[in-house]
């Protein structure tokens, strides 16, 4: 099958490309600059090792018509390209505009390509819920029928960007009948990277967890998922004609502090993970130092999050590995590639 992958050099997309190549597909990947070996060299190496074939095309999320060349002749488009950052900056310019306009441009080019019969959109559980407190107000268990109703540009802007982008994708999909839309909603994606880049949020987060940059942490639960399961789900959504709708991808919901304590237990003295809990009253005082607001602390610290990922198991055949295994595999990759001591 001829399959397009936008943002192919990204952390998640790299594993998606690998999975598709391993299954023998012809992958048309879009990147900003195909000549940058530091960005795409690992993709070319995968293509040399695996049975599928790879073509790389230059594309710009914000430029209408930019994906047409890459999409030509493709049956399926996997739109993975979207900014992911939890740091400061201009949230509208850095997050919302690229996510929203990038989705519009990619789907417009899919509609302009007669061969395209399916679009697989990489969304996020951030489009399912924004604040952890939402889980309690919705019966204690979140599923694909739920939408993030609390995030705003000035409160949790990344979840807000994923929500408006996915809603726009569904609006566009329902206005045409050429292709069907399948959406994947992964939790916080972790696991070994295929490149040595450190500019991805997931990689940066694990480096900070291991090197003492977060010596303590407040109670915050989040859904997690291994990047390899996310890649598998993308390939299954590509190949399974019966797949439809949204799919939560999560191996479970675990407090971030628990992950730090696992690292300390499994690698005594080797890394410097957070093992101490910050009480909520202290979190209120400390939040501004880390770019968080009082509102964020009030509706996220100390709340349980529970999500139903059963649809991904039933419809896509995903089998989730334990998060502790994911964390250890990620640490070993970072050490092997010289990214942490």
Q: Which residue has the tokens 């400390």?
A: 286
CA distances from 27 to 2, 17, 75, 300 (A): 6, 7, 11, 40
List CB contacts of 18: < 8 A, sequence separation 6 or more.
46, 50, 194, 231
Q: Which residue has the tokens 């499994």?
A: 266
Count the helices and strands in the chain (H runs, E runs): 14, 12
Taking the C-alpha atoms of residue 70 and residue 27, their distance in angstroms, rounded to an integer, is 9
List the one residue out of 177, 67, 181, 68 whose CA is nearest residue 118: 181
26: Cα separation from own chain's centroid: 23
Q: Which residue has the tokens 């952890």?
A: 132
Considering the candidates 39, 133, 162, 311, report the single residue annotated as catalytic. 162
List CB contacts of 310: < 8 A, sequence separation 6 or more.
none
Q: What is the DSSP string of 236-303?
A: HHHH-TT--EEEEE-SEEEEHHHHHHHHHHHSTTT-B---EEEPHHHHHHHGGGGT--HHHHHHHTT-
List the one residue out of 8, 11, 50, 12 whose CA is nearest residue 33: 8
Taking the C-alpha atoms of residue 48 and residue 215, their distance in angstroms, rounded to an integer, is 42
Taking the C-alpha atoms of residue 79 and residue 7, their distance in angstroms, rounded to an integer, is 8
- Our answer to whether residue 162 is catalytic in this structure is yes
Task: Just list the catalytic residues.
Answer: 162
């Amino acid at each position: 099958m001829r399959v397009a992958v936008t943002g192919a050099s990204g952390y998640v997309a790299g594993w998606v490309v690998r999975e598709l190549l391993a299954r023998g597909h012809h992958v048309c990947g879009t990147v900003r600059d195909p000549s940058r070996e530091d960005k795409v060299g690992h993709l070319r190496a995968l293509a040399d090792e695996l049975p599928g074939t790879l073509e790389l095309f230059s594309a710009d999320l914000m430029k209408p018509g930019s994906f047409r060349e890459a999409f030509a002749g493709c049956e399926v488009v996997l739109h993975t390209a979207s900014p992911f950052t939890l740091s400061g900056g201009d949230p509208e310019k850095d997050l919302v505009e690229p996510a929203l306009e990038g989705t519009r441009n990619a789907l417009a080019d899919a509609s302009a390509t007669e061969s395209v019969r399916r679009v697989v959109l990489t969304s996020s559980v951030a489009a399912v819920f924004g604040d952890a407190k939402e889980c309690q107000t919705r019966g204690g268990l979140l599923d694909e029928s739920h939408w993030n109703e609390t995030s705003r540009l000035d409160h949790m802007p990344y979840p807000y960007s994923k929500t408006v982008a996915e809603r726009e994708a569904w609006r566009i999909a329902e206005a045409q009948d050429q292709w069907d839309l399948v959406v994947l909603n992964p939790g916080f994606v972790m696991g070994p990277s295929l490149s040595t880049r450190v500019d991805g949020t997931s990689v940066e987060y694990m480096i900070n967890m291991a090197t003492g940059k977060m010596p303590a942490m407040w109670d915050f639960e989040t859904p997690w998922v291994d990047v390899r399961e996310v890649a598998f789900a993308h390939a299954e959504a590509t190949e399974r004609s019966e797949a439809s709708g949204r799919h939560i991808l999560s191996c479970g919901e675990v407090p971030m502090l628990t992950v730090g304590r696992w690292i300390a237990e499994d690698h005594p003295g080797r890394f410097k993970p957070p093992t101490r809990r910050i009480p909520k009253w202290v979190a209120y005082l400390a939040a501004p130092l880390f770019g968080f607001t009082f509102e964020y602390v009030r509706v996220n610290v100390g709340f349980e999050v529970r999500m139903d990922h059963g649809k991904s198991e039933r419809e896509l055949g995903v089998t989730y590995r334990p998060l502790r295994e994911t964390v250890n595999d990620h640490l070993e990759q970072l050490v092997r590639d010289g990214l942490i001591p």
